[in-house]
Amino acid sequence: MLDRRALLAATAALPLAGAGPVLARTTGRVERFDAPTSAGVLPRAVDVWLPPGYDGARTRHPVLYMQDGQNVFEPGRAFGGQEWRIDETLEALIAVDRVRAPIVLGVWNSANRALDYMPRKAVTADTFTLGLGADALRTEDITSDAYLAWLTGVLKPAIDARYRTLPGRDDTFVMGSSMGGLISAYALAEYPEVFGGAACISTHWPAGDGVVIDWLAAHLPPPGGHRLYFDHGTTTLDALYPPLQARMDAHLRAAGWRQGVDWITRRFEGAEHTEAAWAARADIPLAFLLGA
């Protein structure tokens, strides 16, 4: 039986942290700061991973923006104590030249997580739910358009000014899981001139009864200029996803997206809807987006 608590956990917000010292790491270096604010977007912290060799070099780097940033690098703040281990995974990939060394932005979620991550333009009814019997939410309260405007118009310029980034579309990517997968796909559709690719892990298609699938089919950029990655497991909340992901895949094929070139969908038998499961396969979307 599907665990309703998994859905509630996926939309829960964790407390914010104030700006603090640089975190001691064995891989690269992580800085934390309070992000600049914008109207309609709650304040949040951002963790920035600088790859090995960043200090003292002049090299510029591609940038990966990741949703639910408190789950990305540090188990002490991650949901359930399970981090994505993105820094460790990237260092291993960099060491064997499978990826270009990126700067990674872990953009923390807020108390408005579900509203920040639900694609606003996809919802035409007055209310929507996240599925599995969750309470109805008001469409007018969705803040995803404001969130993406902040991400691209406020945070990105600040990051490009502060760090040695490659700021162009072909070097800027976005990635997230569950509702974070929805907002990552939405970001690619809404800002195709900003993001060259999106990785959408265990995308929570049941939100809004699947309305995001058909909206994306009509609004994704044409194939050939972007990379799009989807995956899902088959147990807990992910057991809902295979038929919905198949609908999304059919739209991509019909639009001319080339599987294995422009787009990848992967199925992981027995994988759950957890940070640990996503960490175990994070090398696959990272290599697809950042392949050397």
Segment 252-272, tens digit of pLDDT: 999 999 999 999 999 999 999
Q: Give the chain's mean pLDDT.
A: 90
Closest CA to 14 of 45, 50, 48: 45
Q: What number is the average pLDDT over the span 158-162?
A: 97
What is the pLDDT, as a whole number, of residue 81? 73
Beta bridge partners of 105: 48, 65
Annotate the chain with DSSP letters as a single string: ---HHHHHHHTPPPPP----PPBP-SSSEEEEEEPPPBTTB---EEEEEEPTT-TT----B-EEEESSGGGTS-TTTSGGG----HHHHHHHHHHTTSBPPPEEEEE---TTHHHHHS-GGG--SSEE--STTPPPEEGGG--HHHHHHHIIIIIHHHHHHHS-B--SGGGEEEEEETHHHHHHHHHHHH-TTT-SEEEEES--TTGGGGHHHHHHHHHSPPTTS-EEEEEE-SSGGGGGHHHHHHHHHHHHHHTT--BTTTEEEEE-TT--SSHHHHHHTTHHHHHHHHB-
Per residue in 106-124, pLDDT (tens digit) is: 999 999 999 999 999 999 9
Residue 9's pLDDT band, with cuts at 50, 70 and 90, is: very low
CA atoms within 13 A on the CB side of 21: 3
Residue-level pLDDT at 27: 61
The predicted structure's pLDDT at residue 70: 92
Band the pLDDT of 6: cuts 50, 70, 90.
Answer: very low
pLDDT in tens, 176-225: 999 999 999 999 999 999 999 999 999 999 999 999 999 999 999 999 99
pTM greater than the 0.85 cutoff: yes
Instruction: Output 83 or 256, whichever has higher pLDDT.
Output: 256
What's the rounded Cα separation, in Å, for the pair 151 and 138? 23
- Give percent of the chain above pLDDT 90: 84
Predicted pLDDT of residue 56: 82
Q: What is the pLDDT of residues 19-66, one digit of tens each?
A: 344 444 446 899 999 999 999 999 999 999 999 999 888 999 999 999
Task: Count Cβ atoms within 10 A of the Cβ of residue 28 and give its class: 0-12 exposed, 13-18 middle, 19 or more buried.
Answer: buried
